[in-house]
Structure 1
Amino acid sequence: MESILTSIKKMLGIIEEYEQFDADLIMHINSVFMILNQIGVGPSRGFSIKGEDEVWTDFIPDDSRLELVKSYMHLKVKLIFDPPLGSAVIEAMNRMISEFEWRLSVAVDPGDSKGEEENSK
């Protein structure tokens, strides 16, 4: 089981044992969970972490369609916590974030084409 906090720290280049930024990262991670909840990803009641005990499967089931959540979380937290200096890099990250939001909303949309195919049989 992969800890949400630990995996985000790793993607940001922070070693697991270094806990100086944990409170800040937890706050930013929870903010991104609120955004994900608003686009329909995750538990309907919302989700938050308190430390390194929460794992990805606590938030999303073992569903390959939602693996993008991890990359999305990394990009959003990176922009808040440690934004790049170059405006071109920020713009590229923002475009990726927008695409990820669209793809995630399509993945969780109950009116997706898979359901329509089943209804047409």
Structure 2
Amino acid sequence: MNESILETVAKAVGIGESYDHFNDELIMHINTVLMGLRQIGVGPSEPFLITDSTATWSNFLGDDKNYEAVKTYVCLRVRILFDPPTSSTLADAMKNQIAEWEWRLNLEYECNKQKEGETNSGE
């Protein structure tokens, strides 16, 4: 899970690896999405920002494999911000996927928080 966040998102929105003209805009949108994830409990407790292609998914998520869906969620959210579809049907489908992944990621966080509470109270 050590791949670059920026490179993953750029590829997902259809930008080739060697084309970095949109990196500043993508970074801005990625950081916006990462802030939102932090607010629902996903990612590090301290604010996390990327500034270039060196930030990796493991920097953001650590070794927790329960949050692999974060990649899909971030790519979908950035795509809507960066290059929204012209078809309202496609836009609605993407928004529905975003809402589902956001709900599932928050649910995963709440379940993990509950398990941690049970473990800590049992010690």
Tell me if TM exceeds 0.5.
yes
SS in 2 for 1:111: helix
Tell me which residue corresponds to 2:103: 102
Q: Counterparts of 1:1-121 in structure 2 under 5 Å?
A: 1-109=2-110, 110-111=113-114
2:17 alignment partner AA: E
After TM superposition, the score normalised by the length of structure 2 is: 0.89
SS in 1 for 2:59: helix
Give unpaired runs (5+ residues) of structure 1: none
Give the whole-Å Cα distance in 1 for the aligned partners of 2:14 and 2:82. Answer: 12
2:101 alignment partner AA: F
After TM superposition, the score normalised by the length of structure 1 is: 0.90
SS in 2 for 1:103: helix
Q: CA deviation at 1:115?
A: 6.3
Q: Structure 1, residues 6-52: CA drift from partner, whole Å, max 9, x if none?
A: 11111111111101000000000000011001100011112110000
Query: In the comparison of the two structures, how many residue pairs are matched?
Result: 119
Give unpaired runs (5+ residues) of structure 2: none
Poorly superposed stretches of 4+, deviation over 2 Å = 114-117
